[in-house]
A and B are shown apart, each in its own frame.
Chain A
């Protein structure tokens, strides 16, 4: 079990690469290059001033013991003040640059997700995957602030340190610079290599815990009826413990990395002191010794966090890889069309075949279907029969592997995506109500709708009374920190949004889910009235009997079979 898991991580690591995704993220940040560079330069300047300040301070203190003043109080005051101000400015600028760059990543991410992947994903429930991606975007701030900036700083400090000490003694310069390179580059690299695996184990354990908890919460009914509380709790606790074990391993590694990096710095201090005493190293004069000592301490301070950052670099690069992967076009993404949607709304499926993946049975197999404009049809079939795939194909969320679909006689592959989707309104279980005002949620259906239009749609969806009773009416906030609607009310609000749109074609994918029987019947009767003249495609696993339909189809073995007319 253990070795297979490790193999899996190794495979994942190879697949994701290390530098590729990071370079791509840097590419997205290109627009912010001036600001990011300015931040880096300021940071370098702050580091340099810090080094000079410490060197001068050391000189001054040492010299005073000899009864001389080599550095004036004024110079110290200037360096000291400059350092505090520079440090403050540097942190402000780098963080500001970072947040601008992260905002760019968010926008890039959202646009790419929308471009194809999202539509396909929306048909399968992927909320958790998406939330993980969102936290991945936030992880990326460490790339610039905790890795790139300190690394650049280390690259500058190394030659400065060497040159400054070389003026005193070459052997000592080589020893201290070597130790510095070790603390700034070698140790972080080792930590990064080791941390990649540990971080992977932590990620895996926390995903397992999440699945365990989701199972427990979702299965509360089963657990209660089988009296399995104790077993389930033990099961989740096991996973919780596994997470702590993985985190403990990581914490131990981080602690060791921190200690190793600290010892590097201390070794350099001891080397400088030994040189001052002439023990094992060529003896150096007292005054420069003090200067070099302070300089060394300050130099190692700038790279103190790098080893830890290295140990965490694995999770940053992994996050970068996942974020970048969103930019890759999904397997079934249809090509972006260029032509406007035609006036006609006759829909035709011609010999359409589709399968989600090559090793799975085809969902639709040489399917033919005619839906003339204004016709009201139902598509029935068990779950997994391909009813929702039909909607996905029509909305160009996925493209068929064979055959074509036409709207008003034009192949939808050639129609502009937004034009096509402007013609079709879609309501399904995956339809999302946003954490926003009710008004904003409704306006998504038709941005230019008037207040009266909104209320009409709410009346039609039989949810107007509920909204009227809310303290802020249409401006009530939904979701976290706002009004929470019941499942059925939410469904009806989503329906109101669909009814509001002027789209001539309505796809209703199990629209009555979450409504009680009476409301369901009323709702379906309303649907009969308010959708006059529009094409209605009702997707359901069974009919209640009140739907007014022109035709009923059943999907069977990937083909359409007429159920009754």
Chain B
């Protein structure tokens, strides 16, 4: 738990450092805004002073013109500051999201073993979106709440040091008072935020599982419980808000006190001057100064309020930091091989005493496995699922490495071959191909984006996918995947076969390619696969009777050991 906290603190610190640089322009504009506000206060004070203590009206007109000019300047500055803050938030999000996406790609399919796709997608999309406020609002506010009042205070001190002192004391009282009453700590209390997040997650969870609830006939019960949870959420949120509002009320209080003190001080001075009967010009100057400091008070306290408003943005950051710990470290990149591998004469694969264990509690997965798949021939890995077939395929795909023994490709140790070369020589078809959101054409071209239309059509014909594609509403341009047309299991698998044809790699790995199909579709897909297998080295993992027709060398696996190995009669 402690370790957790340090990691999160370190993350927040590192992000703050990175984000502050981008927040700099926003901070500078914020200071310029404070200076403009001071100018506006001076103009208003001059005009009012001119009216209340007549004596220098021509200058007063100038002040009014200045006010108009400054108002426009301030509007423009404010706009610029808003836009720059939005941009800082975007830049930070783009940087973080890029990092998360990189880490997911680096983690590869292994990540899916431990985490749900939804969880990873939420991390890359929602968690990062929620961080916007941290960079766009919190970081600038955390600098400005000290810097802006300082600028205003110094300018006020030039005119009336006493009033500036009053403002400074009241300003310092705000964080001091909040620390004494534990306001900040109570608002930021991790427990409250955790409880609130949990309750929100509960609602989402119940809504997601609503079919299960309804079909178990438990709707009324769950509705009641949901109402209770929502009530608890309200009570907890209000607990936080009561303190949070207290914090802004304390800022209000400090401001009112400062305002009243500054006003009374000036009022008393002016009354005294009035009684002395000083000349109008001097009187006007004093009135202007007095009004000026009074008008500065709200501006002096405005940055405190922005900070209070941005406080919850900070809380999001620690949540995101915790969530991001599931991603692999950037440093955890394994050493990649450099060796080239000539595949001109086909690919032969050999396993030499390979051993592997996923989870020691469940026993070894592969135990001293040795076999050879000669170039251009088919090897069938036979056995029930759980016997180690998929593990062998995963090793050949490079997702995992043997713990003992080695794998050679054309005699070269696979671990030393350049990963890109391995990718180039391998095609793979699994149980269920993933179809991406997009057109059917884009999905097949995924295997080889530079393929010509002729090559594409040839691959489609070879995979016997032309039949069903012709029957689709828009043929190759039909949108499939998320939000598109749903393909049947057999059709999807033919798309995968077409991809493999298009890639035209010498080594073909098939991992139970028909286990999700009914016998009819299975026969059809196997026919296409046989065509694909011609002149390639094929390693097929299956325990389907239809695989018998594939011929080739057969290796029987059980509990991660090779049981029998021999030529199949076909």
Contacts and interface: CB of A to CB of B under 8 A. Distances in A.
B82 A84 contact: no
A255 interface: yes
Contacts of A240: 94, 97
B424 interface: yes
Given A62-B52, A134-B204, A269-B67, A214 B117 contact: yes
Nearest to B487: A384
Contacts, number: 356
A323 to B, nearest CB: 12
A222 B252 contact: no
Given A517-B384, A542-B519, A259 B290 contact: no
Interface bin, chain B: 35 or more
Interface in A285-301: 286, 289-290, 293
Contact of A107 (B74, B82, B108, B230): B230
A183 B86 CA distance: 24
**A-side interface mostly:** helix
B410 to A, nearest CB: 19
B125 interface: yes
Given A61-B294, A222-B446, A421 B214 contact: yes
Given A123-B211, A262-B74, A233 B386 contact: no
B526 to A, nearest CB: 15
B436 A215 contact: yes
A231 B256 CA distance: 59
B518 A380 contact: yes
Interface in A207-263: 209-229, 231-233, 236-237, 240-241, 244, 247-248, 251-252, 254-256, 258-259, 262-263
B482 interface: yes
Interface string A97-136: 0011011001100110110001101110001101101100
Given A107-B227, A444-B213, A218 B434 contact: yes
B112 interface: yes
A92 interface: yes
A218 B490 CA distance: 19
B341 to A, nearest CB: 15
Given A266-B71, A286-B51, A114 B120 contact: no
A62 B517 CA distance: 87
B242 interface: yes
A75 B434 CA distance: 73
Interface string A263-283: 100110110011011010000
Contacts of B266: 61, 64
A380 B204 CA distance: 34
Contacts of A479: 205
**Nearest 10 A/B pairs, CB to CB:** A122-B211, A432-B209, A516-B386, A517-B384, A251-B86, A103-B230, A227-B423, A67-B274, A266-B71, A255-B82
21 contacts: A61-B267, A88-B245, A95-B241, A103-B233, A114-B219, A130-B210, A209-B125, A217-B117, A221-B430, A248-B86, A251-B83, A251-B87, A254-B82, A262-B74, A421-B214, A435-B201, A444-B212, A516-B385, A516-B386, A518-B386, A519-B386
Interface of A: 57, 60-62, 64-67, 73, 76-77, 80, 83-84, 87-88, 91-92, 95-96, 99-100, 102-103, 106-107, 110-111, 113-114, 118-119, 121-123, 127-128, 130-131, 133-134, 138, 206, 209-229, 231-233, 236-237, 240-241, 244, 247-248, 251-252, 254-256, 258-259, 262-263, 266-267, 269-270, 273-274, 276-277, 279, 286, 289-290, 293, 380-384, 395, 397, 417-419, 421-422, 424-426, 430-435, 444-445, 447, 479-481, 501, 516-519, 541-542
Interface of B: 44, 47-53, 57, 60-61, 64, 67-68, 71-72, 74-76, 78-80, 82-83, 86-87, 90, 93-94, 97-98, 101-102, 104-105, 108-109, 111-112, 117-118, 120-121, 124-125, 129, 198, 200-219, 221-223, 226-227, 230-231, 233-234, 237-238, 241-242, 245-246, 249, 252-253, 256, 259-260, 263-264, 266-267, 270-271, 274-275, 283, 287, 290-291, 294, 384-387, 397-399, 420, 423-424, 426-428, 430, 433-434, 436-437, 446-447, 449, 481-483, 486, 488-490, 499, 503, 516-521, 543
Given A87-B252, A247-B86, A433-B209, 6 more contacts: A64-B267, A221-B112, A259-B75, A444-B218, A517-B543, A541-B517
